[in-house]
Amino acid sequence: EVQLVESGGGLVKPGGSLRLSCAVSGFTFSSYSMNWVRQAPGQGLEWVACISSGGDYIYYADSLKGRFTISRDNAENSLYLEMNSLRVEDTAVYYCARDLTVKPCDYWGQGTLVTVSS
C-alpha cells in the first residue's frame, strides 16, 4: 500500500524557518518524482515544488523561489521542504504527493499544518 506521511508542521513566527518531512512506503521511492502542494485555510490547491527521482531536476512555483528548498534522501525514503523567511501568507496545510509524468500527484499524504503567526 502506498503511504506518504508528512511531519514537521507547527507554529512559527514571521521570518522564521521550518523543515517539513515526508516519509514514504509501499513503493520504490527512488523511481518517482515528488511534489509539495499547499492549501491555505479555506482556499484552493497551490503547487509548491517538484523534484525528479534522482534529485537532479527541481522546479519551484515562481512566487516561492529563493525561500523554499525541496530535497530528498532516497536512502531514507524521505522528501523534505526547507522553508525560510516565512510569511503569514505561507500558512497552509502542506501535502507531499507522488508524481508520474502522465499521472501527477497520484498519491497524497494527509498533510501537515504550518501556521505563521506572531
Which residues are near other proteins by CB under 8 A?
Answer: 35, 37, 44-47, 50, 59-62, 95, 102-111
The distance of closest approach from Cβ of residue 94 to other proteins in the complex, given in angstroms and rounded to an integer, is: 11
The distance of closest approach from Cβ of residue 118 to other proteins in the complex, given in angstroms and rounded to an integer, is: 27
Of the pair 14, 40, the CB lying nearest other proteins is at: 40
Of the pair 27, 59, the CB lying nearest other proteins is at: 59
For the chain, the DSSP string reads: --EEEEE--EEE-TT--EEEEEEEESS-GGGSEEEEEEE-TT--EEEEEEE-TTS--EEE-GGGTTTEEEEEETTTTEEEEEE-S--GGG-EEEEEEEEETTEEEEEE---EEEEE--
